[in-house]
A and B are shown apart, each in its own frame.
Chain A
Amino acid sequence: MKYKSHKIALNFFTFAVLLFLVQVIVGVVAAIQFLKPDFFVFAFNISRTLHINALVVWLLCGLMGATYYVVPEESECELWSIPLAQFQFWATVVAVLGVVVGYIVMGLFPQSNIMIFGTLLLNEGREYIEAPRWADFLIAISAVLFLINNAMTMFKSKKWTGIQGTLLGGMLFLTLMYLPGMFYSSSMVKDQYWWWWVVHLWVEGAWEVIAGALLAFMLMKLTNAPRQALEKWMYIEVALVLFTGILGIGHHYYWIGTPSYWLWVGGIFSSLEPIPLLVMVWDALRITKDTRVNTNKLGLFLATAHAIFNFLGAGLWGVIHTLPSVNKWTHGTQITTAHGHLAFYGAYVLLIIAMVYISVPSMRGVKDYNMSRGYRSFWWQTVSMVMIVFTITGAGMVQTYMERLLGIDYVAVKNDFNSWFWIWRIIFGVTYLIGVLMFVVDYFKIGKEPVTVNAAAAAISESKA
């Protein structure tokens, strides 16, 4: 290990990987509940809450791990304070476990979610930010400690690279955008208005900025492309992300009681959101083609796959339902679920997996590692996810047609017409889970197994080139 600080990065990655496994297991439970609502100890709302909260938290932990890896690398020194980082890690783990226990208790006893000091004790009852207020404060404190530690490291080293500046800027934006979700409003319209600041400005703002910075970092690590040019394109990408994404928030203000000019603002700006994502794909492909690639073929493969699926899931599956004239019919149907899955998978799940395969070998002090299980896990996950998305897009089209256009009752469509789609989702959910299990096993073995023929051959062809 080059830097002792990297121990923290590994801690965060390990916690993230374990939560990933939990997330997908409860996802399969939720999928089964579409057919058998009572088959598990708690109801659908709790399995879904666990599913999406585990997702968001493990992705955040993955991003923190990635930052704790990148900042010492870019600054070429240890973190400002390793004990503080260690504390921040354990505080995060304790807070997250506390929240999870709370959800399960509420699942078993719905009445236990009592009001204390004007806030709900176990579950705030707002999608994605279900975590109760006391946990919000712990999360905010953890994020601030994280920011201070990394910013101080950069100040200390005085190496202001564009990549780490953008990464930290994205992290700061992310932290600030958690705050609009932390107060109560008696108007459901205002409630949802601010709620979207958290959800939309995260995934289509701050997180995409972070993804842009990490993409540039990965391409730099894996190829001999010059930093200067990489950073320039990175700035262009993240600029376009925010120019389209900030006002693109209007695509969530069509029908929640807000004035109708949002139909125009949202329609115009959000339609442009795929452009920066397409530039990122072009960037990744161009650099892979034009420059010499180091030995970590799997790492570069995953970074490129991330760029491509970010475009497909967020860009393409997003833009198809973003115009008001379409969204009027598809809003709140399974089309949204299909988009949510492919977007999160492509943009952030693959991003963290790519960062793991790029950073963990070097943090474990090996140059080369066995890549075959990593490839297999990628294909199991990706094929399964694409099939889940097709399945649910099908369910969404049937729902839009029957419920929204023909006026057939919601429950009838769900139970009588869409049940085959629910069955297929369970099947592909299980194959997805197999892919995740492979990844979890591989995570603990990266760099600890003998390198196979494949990887060795790649290394030889590399040294010849």
Chain B
Amino acid sequence: MGNKGVRNMFVFGSLLCFVALVVMTFDTFAQLDSRSTKITADVDKGKQVWHKYDCIGCHTIFGNGSYFAPDMTKITDKLPKSYLKKYLVNPRKVNASAAMPVLGITDDEAEKLFVFLEWISKVDTNGWPPKPIMSKGSSSAAVYEKYSCSSCHLINGIGGTSGPDITHVASRHPEAEWHRKHLDNPSSVVPDSAMPPYAQLTEDEKKQLIEFLVSLK
């Protein structure tokens, strides 16, 4: 092929690839709405606060951004709202050695940020971030083991069958509060529950156990 031929291949081949990208862009955008919840005015306001304080200059979101601070993609699944709001307004009051500076975020801005981050956590990210597959059981699962909950419950096919399978219990009961009441006194939330109460757990154990239970999605 002469130089002209190669050049034409370059120009037209590249244009063709670009057209393919544009077509896929249309297809992708047509699918986006069904891959998350609706964007409310508050979600949008929260996003603007996110930009205003340049959170991306330290954090990642969907794994993109800076690698100086933890990823924000599923943060509202991991941490309760009351904690997050306190942290955003003044991280150094929550944790004296926090590396995150006090940015001057107002209560209202923190509220909007939370709504925004909650929207983010609802986005279908094709399973990212993945569950740590080599985890030897976090300390929260340790409480579960210590009190032999598995003698009555199944998780991923392991355990007993006196009680229900709780592999995905958090999709039925996502709220930590429900689990606290249930552990203290099962009958208070499930009339006539057969499960024994676990009010004897220490406060720390309860926290870890509940964190573990709400992670079972």
By a beta-carbon cutoff of 8 Å, the part of chain A in contact with chain B is 33-34, 37-38, 43-46, 48-49, 106, 110-111, 113, 115, 120, 123-127, 130, 162, 186-193, 195, 228, 231-232, 235-236, 238-239, 242-243, 246-247, 249, 252-260, 262-263, 265, 328-329, 331-334, 336-337, 403-407, 410-411
Contacts and interface: CB of A to CB of B under 8 A. Distances in A.
Nearest to A186: B44
A43 to B, nearest CB: 5
Contacts of A48: 57-58, 66, 68
B194 interface: no
Given A125-B51, A190-B29, A258-B28, A235 B3 contact: yes
Contacts of A249: 21
Nearest to A395: B67
Interface of B: 3, 6-7, 9-10, 13-14, 17-18, 20-21, 24-25, 27-29, 31-32, 35-36, 39, 43-44, 47-48, 50-58, 60-71, 99, 101, 103-104, 116, 119-120, 123-136, 138
Contact of A186 (B47, B65, B70, B132): B47
Given A257-B36, A404-B129, A243 B17 contact: yes
- Which of A48, A186, A257, A410 gathers most chain B CB within 10 Å? A257
Contact of B130 (A106, A236, A253, A404): A404
A111 B134 CA distance: 43
Contacts of B55: 45, 125
Contact of A257 (B17, B25, B35, B70): B35
Contacts of A265: 24
B42 to A, nearest CB: 11
A175 to B, nearest CB: 15
B3 A242 contact: no
10 contacts: A48-B58, A186-B44, A187-B39, A188-B119, A254-B128, A256-B64, A259-B35, A263-B126, A332-B60, A410-B69
Contacts of A255: 62-63, 125-126, 128-129
Contact of A407 (B57, B71, B138): B138
A113 B109 CA distance: 14
A243 B63 CA distance: 26
Contacts of B60: 332
A336 B134 CA distance: 22
B56 A126 contact: yes
Given A120-B52, A127-B56, A257-B125, A239 B24 contact: no
A372 B79 CA distance: 58
Nearest to B138: A407
Given A125-B53, A187-B39, A247-B20, A405 B6 contact: no
Nearest to B35: A257
- Which of B56, B57, B120 gathers most chain A CB within 10 Å? B57
Contact of A110 (B32, B66, B104, B116): B104
Contact of A254 (B6, B18, B31, B126): B126
Nearest to B63: A332
Contacts of A258: 28, 32, 35
A246 B21 contact: yes
Contact of A243 (B13, B71, B103): B13
B97 to A, nearest CB: 9
B54 A406 contact: no
Contacts of A260: 126
A353 to B, nearest CB: 27
B61 A188 contact: yes
Given A235-B10, A334-B67, A113 B54 contact: yes
Nearest to A46: B57
A410 B71 contact: yes
B51 A239 contact: no
Contacts of A192: 62, 64
Closest CB pairs A-B (n = 3): A45-B57, A407-B132, A125-B51
B3 A228 contact: yes
Contacts of B116: 188
B111 to A, nearest CB: 17
B67 to A, nearest CB: 6
A278 to B, nearest CB: 18
Nearest to A191: B47
